Amino acid sequence: MSSTSLLRIAARGPSKTFFRANRPVNPTRASASFVPGLVAGSTLNFSTSVSRRSGHEAEETFEEFSARYEKEFDGVQDVFELQRNLNNAFAYDLVPSPTVLEAALKAARRVNDFPTAVRIFEGIKAKVENKGQYQQYLDELKPLREELGILLKEDMYPEEAK
């Protein structure tokens, strides 16, 4: 440590607190003139008129959504991938079509994940607007549900069904 820095510390006197708060240092006008991006009129300044694109130029239709998720569920190889695709499918502000749910149930059977298959129906129940729509999904998926041996939570725990 140089003698000038020791002199500065001694001249300051005892500090009120042991730790000092880290305060951002505002650049002075002289130091700002050396930063090329901050110089007024510089050609290095960034433009704010550049359009930014998120990669989705057009909105996806329900049919495209259904086809995309059917394809994704057909390619599922493990439980993690199945649950990730289910989370993504149910994250949208819509209820997936019965064909998507069929593909998801077949994928759950393929990776031998019974609890996720039961939870698919719980997800449907949470997403639909009323009990009538839920019953329509159950009626539509009943043959597949019976073929795969998937029970509903209401069937397994009738006292909790309300």
Tens digit of pLDDT for each residue in 44-101? 444 444 444 555 557 889 999 999 999 999 999 999 999 999 999 999 888 999 999 9
CA 75 to chain centre: 21
Q: Output the pLDDT for position 51.
A: 47
Neighbours of 122 (CB within 10 A): 12
Give the sign of the dihedral formed by CA 89, CA 94, CA 95, CA 99: negative
* Domains (range + CATH), the chain: 62-156 (1.25.40.40)
Report CA-CA distances (Å) from 135 to 34, 125, 129, 130: 70, 9, 11, 9
Residue pair 90/96 in contact by the 8 Å Cβ criterion: yes
pLDDT digits 0-9 by tens, 117-160: 999 999 999 999 999 999 999 999 999 999 999 999 888 888 87
Q: Output the pLDDT for position 142.
A: 95
Q: Output the pLDDT for position 12.
A: 60
Q: Which amino acid is at 47?
A: S
Instruction: Give the pair of three-digit tokens for residue 10.
Output: 């001694």
Question: In degrees, to the nearest 5, what angle opens at C-alpha 92 toward C-alphas 153 and 66?
Answer: 85
Question: Does residue 8 carry a pLDDT above 60?
Answer: no
